[in-house]
Structure 1
């Protein structure tokens, strides 16, 4: 199976054929609509998906750019040479590189045998990851600083894990599952990705990384975990009591680390959960509003429309038409 996949990935794509025949530069419009070179997830990832894999385009240098998503480079075969921030990295077969939205990198042209898989991951996918990141580690520091840090520090994590069989197996399962698009594939991919994060945490000693930026790690992780588990009735006062912190001090730390207030984080979680229920159940809208912790229907309609540009009823009707 792995040999068949490699043969498939070695084939020249249509984009690569054009590059080989006509020019040795990429067409930026395939990757972004912005004047700055910020690769957009919308070019590759449909709105209802959180994770996608895309084979890196060979035979051409990629100039300095950022992404509006979290990217993981994985070398399936060969190598990938790039400059990340000010550091040159030669990624070897089986190695992983996490890049957050705020770091620039430029990539040297890959040869035919260099097969690199790019994981395109929406930041909100990692919301649930915080529910089991109970100890301080490089990955949780990376995610908190990448997803919430208002200073927009560029960061990366470079994992030299080519010899770790459990990690290699999980990555290949994710690739195969996304390519197959079988029943329940999206849920399976999310599960595998969660397991991959756990395995990487267990092998954090094999990671090189940018210098960590200060964050009250324990307080923030516990706050995010509390919101995730108690969003229906969550309150800052209850959380501050559980963490033995003055509520005003905790509020300040949450705002400092995430650039959001406790109330804003809680609202985002409730809206995300309401959208999930609208998509996956036929539960009455009034029941959903109650399930996510609101008792003011008109207020919920207003914030839902402000977030998704349509009312809950319109959102569900649009889903039905699709």
Structure 2
């Protein structure tokens, strides 16, 4: 059976759609407003999922609490993003941030669309090595760290770009034939896809004027990523030869977060990975990510993840 034949098979969601002839909103959100929630699809601790879009029914206006990428594997996809009608053809893709609303026309049997569900936190590590200014970089910076809540999307007419299509093909094969390494493989492929899309910016339809292209911000995020254990605003200001109060104001204005908040997010994300991937004592992990005060680490971890470090480790153990 070919990959396309597998993709044409009905999913449980599509069978439900054909039976009830409506979108079952409770499947996608627990909120009154139609905001699709990542936790309805992602396993605890996961940052990425790739799935097939449900066919045969109009999907009403909605937005997500994650960054979404729609890729047309076969056929086409018609949708209205914000106030703009977009008709994606086979091989094209669109990236939407978590603030943009869109509605999707019903797909026919032959229209196979792949949805990438990506937590904004996934892109933090990419910022440390994506050193080229461009619309995708600015879009991701705004989506992950932007405080303005402004809806944006990017439309890539990349059907003829072999390097991009090969990566997307591999990811589709991964979701149809998963194994124990699929999650890690998908993360690597998505990172490579972001790089390829950055290199192929000429396939971008229209233009995105990012507001966070300042070199200081990029270097600040790279510094936090690489030096999270001992990073300080004072050392950053010395590296950039700029007053710390000026950098503090810049970071807050353009990300909506303080230097301390961004650093804390990075440290806790690393701690979460270490809890799942190692048997190190929690106190050692706290020190490894930069916290000498274990009680403080315990407190902020529990506040962010709504459970203690040990409870988080035990909950993840069965999935591992």
> Structure 2-normalised TM-score?
0.94
Contact 2:51/2:175 (<8 A) preserved: no
SS where residue 307 of structure 2 aligns? coil
Alignment of 1:1-322 (within 5 A): 4-23=2-21, 25-209=22-206, 211-320=208-317
Matched-pair contact (CA < 8 Å) for 1:286–1:297: yes
Shift of the alpha carbon at 1:21? 4.6
Which 4+ stretches in 1 moved above 6 angstroms? Answer: none
Gaps spanning 5+ residues in structure 1: where? none
Residue 190 (structure 1) shift: 1.1
Distance in 2, matches of 1:56 and 1:319, equals: 28
* 1:96-146: CA deviation from partner (whole Å, max 9, x where unpaired): 100000001111111111111111111111111111121211111001111
Q: Distance between the aligned counterparts of 1:13 and 1:292, measured in 2? A: 42
Contact 1:216 1:253 in 2 (8 A): no
The answer on whether the counterparts of 1:101 and 1:154 sit within 8 Å (CA) in structure 2 is yes
Deviation of 1:52 after TM superposition, in Å, equals 1.0
Shift of 1:222: 1.2
Distance apart, 1:79 and its partner CA = 0.4
Q: 1:244, 1:188 → 2: CA distance? A: 40
Counterpart secondary structure, 2:2: helix
1:69-100 per-position Cα deviation (integer Å, ceiling 9, x unaligned)? 11100000010011111111100000010000
Alpha-carbon separation, structure 1, partners of 2:168 and 2:158 = 11
Root-mean-square deviation over aligned CA pairs:
1.7
Q: Secondary structure at the match of 1:66?
A: strand
Q: Given the superposition, is the C-alpha separation of residues 285 and 187 from structure 1 closer, same or farther in structure 2, using an over 3 Å criterion? A: same
Q: 1:208 Cα shift?
A: 2.3
Contact 1:100 1:156 in 2 (8 A): yes
Closer, same or farther: CA 51–317 of 1 in aligned 2, 3 Å = closer
> Structure 1 314/13 Cα, relative in aligned 2: closer, same or farther at 3 Å?
closer
In the alignment of these two chains, the number of paired residues is 319
SS of 2:290's partner is coil
3-state DSSP of counterpart to 2:170: helix
| Deviation readout 1:155-190 (Å, 9 max, x if unpaired) | 101111100111001011112223332132211111
Q: Distance in 2 between matches of 1:56 and 1:314?
A: 34
**Counterparts in 2 of 1:306 and 1:256: CA distance versus 1, 3 Å:** same
Residue-by-residue CA offset, 1:264-309 (whole Å, 9 max, x unaligned):
1111111111111111111122221221111112221221222222
226-235 or 39-48: which moved more?
Answer: 39-48
- C-alpha contact (below 8 Å) 2:67/2:97 kept by paired residues: yes
Unmatched 5+ residue regions in structure 2?
A: none
> Is the contact made by 2:138 and 2:211 (CA closer than 8 Å) also made in structure 1?
no
Aligned-pair CA distance for 1:210: 5.7
